[in-house]
Every structure is written in C-alpha cells, then in structure tokens.
Amino acid sequence: MDAIVLLKEDHKTVEKLFKKFEAAGDNAVKTKKKIAGQVIEELTVHAFIEEEIFYPAAREAAPDTKDHVLESVEEHHVVVWMLSELAGLDASDERFDAKMTVLIENVRHHVEEEEKEWFPEVRKAMGRNRLKDLGERMEAAKTEAPRDPLAVQSARK
Ligand SMILES: [Fe+2]
Ligand SMILES: [Fe+2]
C-alpha cells in the first residue's frame, strides 16, 4: 500500500474512534475507557511508524518539509505523553473527559497539517514506487511497534 494512503487510513480509523467517544454519554465510563484504550494503541503504533520510517524518508526526499516534520515531532511529543497519562487514568476521574477532549483537539490539528500542508509535497517528491515501498515497510513495522506510548522516540526528546 502507498505510504500516504496507509497513514490517511490510520487517521480515519482514529477519527472514527474520536466520534464514538464524543457520542458516548457522560456516564458511559466503561465504553469511554475502552475507546481510550483503542485510541492509545492506534496512535502509538501510528506515531511509531511515522517517526521511525515516514518522517526521516520525507525529510530526505523533500528537504523543504524539514520545519513541518520537526513541528510534527513536537506535536507527537505532547500527544504520546497525554496518551500515557490517559492510560493511567480512570474514566470516572474528573480529568478524564477533559484530557481526552484536548488530545482529540491536538490530534485533529496535527492530522490536518500533515494531510494539507506537507504530505502533498512528499507525494510529489517521492513518486509512486518509493511510496509503495515505504508503505510496505510501515505495514510490516506495525507488528513490531511498541504499545507503550512512552516507547516512541518523540517521548524522549
Ligand atoms: Fe503524525
Ligand atoms: Fe499521521
């Protein structure tokens, strides 16, 4: 699969989980905890394959995207720490919904920037074959990706 198509599919999966979370009622504590768990796993794997494979390849192929990539890593940094806090938070905690809401806002902003501001440049610079090759590598890397958000590179910097 084309690398950018793969990443956009992930974005859609996460957006669906966000919508589910937003539709869950105030008292749907169990449901919300379960959705949060799925969000944590999806976003951790996604951030991992972007940071390990896609971001470095994007910088190399399209050096003009450097600032966007660096900003994206900083956004990942915030997101993975929020994910790790959410993992340890009870859904009945008064801060749970608020933390999820801010996470959702951050991720939506991040996804919009990736998809609108710099993925198109990377697509142009890389071409089909390169993107397909990268996509295959990312697909394979998903199986070895960590499930702990703090094991992602950007958590450490
Ligand atoms: Fe990202
Ligand atoms: Fe992404």
Q: Which domain holds residue 97?
A: 3-156
Ligand nearest to the CA of 7: 2
d(CA 91, CA 31): 9
Give residue 103 CA to ligand 2 midpoint distance, Å: 14
Q: Model pTM?
A: 0.97
For residue 99, the Cα-to-chain-centroid distance in whole angstroms is 16
Q: Which two tokens stand for residue 154?
A: 């950007």
Ligand nearest to the CA of 68: 1
What tens digit of pLDDT does each residue of 107-118 get?
A: 999 999 999 999
**How many domains does the chain divide into?**
1
Residue 25's φ and ψ, nearest 5 degrees, are: -75, 170
> Residue 157 above 90 pLDDT?
no
d(CA 32, CA 21): 6
Return the DSSP state at 26: T
Mean pLDDT of the chain: 97
Q: Which two tokens stand for residue 59?
A: 């910088």
The predicted structure's pLDDT at residue 105: 98
Q: Which two tokens stand for residue 136?
A: 């295959």
- Split at pLDDT 50, 70, 90, the class of 25 is confident
Ion ligand 1 — residues with CB < 5 Å? 50
Give residue 64 CA to ligand 2 midpoint distance, Å: 18
